[in-house]
Structure 1
C-alpha cells in the first residue's frame, strides 16, 4: 500500500506540472495570435511611430496668425534670387502696424538662432488696411530649415509660436503650364462656363489649374471634386473670411472692408511661388477668361515660338477682350439640349467681341515665367528680374465672356470672333463627360 500511494503522488505531481505548462503555452500562443491580429487590423500604432513629433506647434493651414501682431502667415518658400536671403514668406500684413520682425527656424530637428527679417509690402493695396506682403529671411549657417515663423523679439519662447512648412525644397520642373485662379467665394455656381473653360485649357495644353476656394455653389463644388480626383485641379482652402472683413470689390473708398477682393493679390502671388520649381509658365487670370492663341494650336506651340524670340522676358502681357453674354449667336447651333439644366453661361453661344476703348486704361492678364517674377498684381507684374513683352493681338488675346464693358455698343459695332468653334468637336464631348 505504501508503494502504491507513493506512485500515485508522483503521477499527480507530474500531471500537475504538465497542466501548468500546457496552460502557460496556451496563454503565450493566444497572446501572440492576438497581437498579430490586432497589428494586422489596426495599423494606427505603426503610423503613429512614423509620425514626426515636433516640440512646437506646426500649422498645415493655408492662413496662420502671427503671435503678438495683427498679421497673417500664408506660406514660405526657398528663394535665393535676392542676394543675402534664402526664404521668402508670403503674408498678409496690416499696413499701419508693421514692426521689425525676426525669422525663427526649425533646422534638422533643432532650433537655430533667429535672423532679422526684411519686410516688403506690395505697392498695390488699393487703399485697404491689409496688403499682400513678402518677408525675406536669411538662413543661419548650417541650417536646413524645414519650418519657419516670425517673432516680434528674437528672445521669445519658441514653444509659444506656430511654425509653417518651408516649400519648394528639392522640387523639379514637371509641368509646362499652370493656371492660377485667385478666388472662389459666395454662391458662385457658374458650372457650365467653369467646365467649358477647364476643358478648353486641357485642349490648349495646360497641365494644372490651382483654385483658391473660400466657398462656392453646391453644383460647382461637385464638379471641382471631380477635377480634383482626376488631378487636373489643385484645390487650396482659403478661409480668409474667418480672419478679416472681406469685400467683393477692389476699391476701399467704394467697398470698404479689410482686404481687396478676398485676398486676390495674396493668392496670385502664393500660386506663383507654389508653382515656381515645378513648371515653366504660370497663367494669371480669372476662371471666366481664356488666354487663347490665334496663330497656334495650343499654348505650348505659342510659347515655343515666343520664348526664343524674347529669351529675357518674364512677363508676357495678353490683352483682355470682352464677349458680352447678352448677345447670342443667331443660329442657336450650340444651344444644346444636354446643357439646358446646367447652371451657368454657354461660352460657345457668344461670338461677338468688343473693341477696347483705348482712350482709357485697358487691362491685360499675363503668362509669366515664375523664376523671373518677384511680385505680381492682377494686371501687371510689380517686381521682376526679367523684361516685359506685350503680345500682339493677332497672336494671342483673352476671350472673356461676361457682362458688357461697353454696354452702349450696338451688335453691329462688335466683331464676330468664332475662335472657340475651332475646338468644338473635342470640347463638347469632353464637357459632356465632365458634367
Structure 2
C-alpha cells in the first residue's frame, strides 16, 4: 500500500505541476501553490480579454452616440448579401466604391425605382470614427428600357470621403442600430493589376444549362489570354453547376450570387412590352456596372459580353497582342466596340468531324459544328459588345458606355469580332447564303483535349452515352 500511495502521489504531481516549475511533492508550500493558481487565472483572464478585443476589431464594432455596439448578425449579413434593401424605400444598394476620378466621391451602385425617388442620404464613417451624413446625389442611368426599376449611382460627396471605410444609403439622417453598411472598395488606386483580361458575364437565370458551349467558351478564352471570368448567378442547371464549381476550384472563375428574383420580378428580356417585369433582363445593367467598378484596379481590361459570345481576335494570335497593337495606335481610347456576328446553331458543318461521341451526352451547343456566319445586312449596323479600360468608364450599358473618359473606337471587323452561336436572326437564309468562318478550328489541337479534361474534372463521364439532358439556351 505504501508503494501504491507513492506511485499515485508521483502521478498526481506529474499531472499538476506548480507554475514555478516544481511540484507540491518537492516541498513547495501550499501558499505558493495557491499563488501559482492565481497567476494561471490572471493569465487566462488576460487571454480572454485580448481575444474579445480582437473579435470586436475583426467583426466590426461601431461607436454610435457614445455607445459601443456590436452586431454579429449584421456583420455576416454584410458579407453575404449582394443586394441590400434601403429601409423605408423601394430601392436597393448593391456595392460601394471610392471614385478617385470624381472628387473622391463614394459611388454606391444601386437599383432605384424611377417613379418613387425620395430624398436620400449617405451615412459614412471610418471604422470607429464619427459618422458623416450628407445629402446623396442620385443618377439613374439613361438606359432602363422602360422598366420601373433601373440601374443608378448614388453619389456621396462630403468631407473625408476618401477615408471612409463603410457607407449606408438612408431615407433620413438618423442612424439606427439595424442599419446595413456596405464596405467601401477601391480605396487605394493602383497601376499594378492582378489580371490583364477579365470577362464580366452579367447574369445566369432560369436554370441555364448550356454546359458544352460554356466549357468550350471558357477553354477558348483561356487560349486567347483571359485570366479571370466573373459570373453573376441567379440560377443555373445541374450540369452547368458542375462546371461552375470546377472553374471556381481552378481559380479562373469568380461567382457572385445574384438573388435578384428574391427582391423583384426581373424581366427575362430587354423589351418591357414583350417581357414584362420590374427590372431589365435580371438586372444586366446593374451587374455590368458593378463588375466594371469591382475590377477597376484589379484588371487592365474588362470584356463585357454574354455567356454564349466569344470576343475573338482574327489578325492576332491572342487578346494581349491585339490590344497592344490597338492601344499603340489609339492611345487615348478607353472603350473598344466589338461587332457581334451571328452563327446560327441550326446550320451544321457537313463533315461532322467535331460531332464527337465523347460530347454526345453533354447538354448544350457544340460551337465547333457551327462555322456559318450570317452576312452583313445592308443599311444595318451590327450591335456591339465592349472591351474597356475600366478606369475610363463611369457608366455602361450593354452595347456601349453611357458615360466615359477618353475616346471610343469601333474595332474593324477583320481585326476582331464576336462569335455568337445562337438562333438565327436572318432565318430565311440557306446555308449557301451564309459565310464560312472557321476561326475556332485554328485552336482545335489544344481546345478539344482541354474541353475533355475540364468536363472530366467537373465529373462528367465522356464515355457513357446512355442518357442526355437537353440544354436550356438563352436566346
TM-score normalised per structure 2: 0.81
Q: Distance in 1 between matches of 2:197 and 2:435?
A: 29
**CA distance in 2: counterparts of 1:210 and 1:243, whole angstroms:** 22
CA contact (8 A) 2:212 2:365 kept: yes
With over 3 angstroms needed to count, the CA separation of the structure-2 counterparts of 1:21 and 1:95, relative to structure 1, is: same
Deviations, residues 9-32 of structure 1 (Å, cap 9, x unaligned): xxxxxx99979949968x969x89
Q: CA 1:19/1:389 → structure 2, altered by over 3 Å: closer, same or farther?
A: closer
- Structure 1 equivalent of residue 21 of structure 2: none
Partner of 2:95: 75
Matched with 1:91 is: 110
Q: In 2, Cα distance between the equivalents of 1:111 and 1:16?
A: 59
Aligned to 2:260: 240
Is contact 1:64–1:72 with CA below 8 Å preserved after alignment? yes
| Residue 148 (structure 2) pairs with residue 141 (structure 1) | no
For residue 256 of structure 1, the aligned residue among 264, 267, 276 is 276
Structure 1 residue 281 corresponds to structure 2 residue 301: yes
Supply the distance in 1 between the matched residues of 2:378 and 2:332 (Cα, whole angstroms).
Answer: 28
User: C-alpha offsets along residues 368-401 of structure 1, whole Å, 9 cap, x if unaligned?
Assistant: 1111111111111111111111111111000001
Equivalents in 2 of 1:142, 1:230: separation in Å?
Answer: 37
Q: Deviations over 1:246-302 (max 9, x none)?
A: 221111122211001100000000001101111111100001100001000000000
**For residue 140 of structure 2, what is the aligned residue in structure 1?**
121
Query: Contact between 1:87 and 1:139, CA under 8 Å: does it hold in 2?
Result: no
Q: 1:51 aligns with which of 53, 58, 65?
A: 58
Q: Measure how far apart 1:430 and its partner are.
A: 0.9
Structure 1 regions of 5+ residues with no counterpart? Answer: 1-14
Q: Structure 2: any 5+ residue segments left out of the alignment?
A: 1-23, 63-70, 456-475
Aligned length: 413
Q: Distance in 1 between matches of 2:187 and 2:251?
A: 21
Displacement of 1:359: 2.9
| Distance in 2 between residues matched to 1:89 and 1:361, nearest whole Å | 34
Paired residue for 1:219?
Answer: 239
Match of 2:205 in 1: 185
- Cα deviation, 1:105-144, whole Å, max 9, x if unaligned, reads 0214123221221111000111100000011111423861
Structure 1: 4+ residue segments shifted above 4 A: 15-25, 44-47
Instruction: Confirm or deny: 8 A CA contact 2:385 2:400 kept in the other structure.
Output: yes
- CA separation of 1:24 and 1:376: change in aligned 2, threshold 3 A: same
Mapping for residues 386-397 of structure 1, pairs under 5 Å: 386-397=406-417
Verify the 8 A CA contact 1:73 1:90 in the aligned structure 2.
yes
Q: Kindly provide the CA deviation profile for residues 295-339 of structure 1, in whole angstroms up to 9, marking residues without a partner as x.
A: 000000000000111111111111111111111111111111211
Alignment partner of 1:151 is 2:158: no
User: Matched residues in 2 for 1:134 and 1:317: separation?
Assistant: 24
Please provide the CA RMSD for this pair: 2.8
- Which of 146, 151, 155 in structure 2 is aligned with 1:132? 151
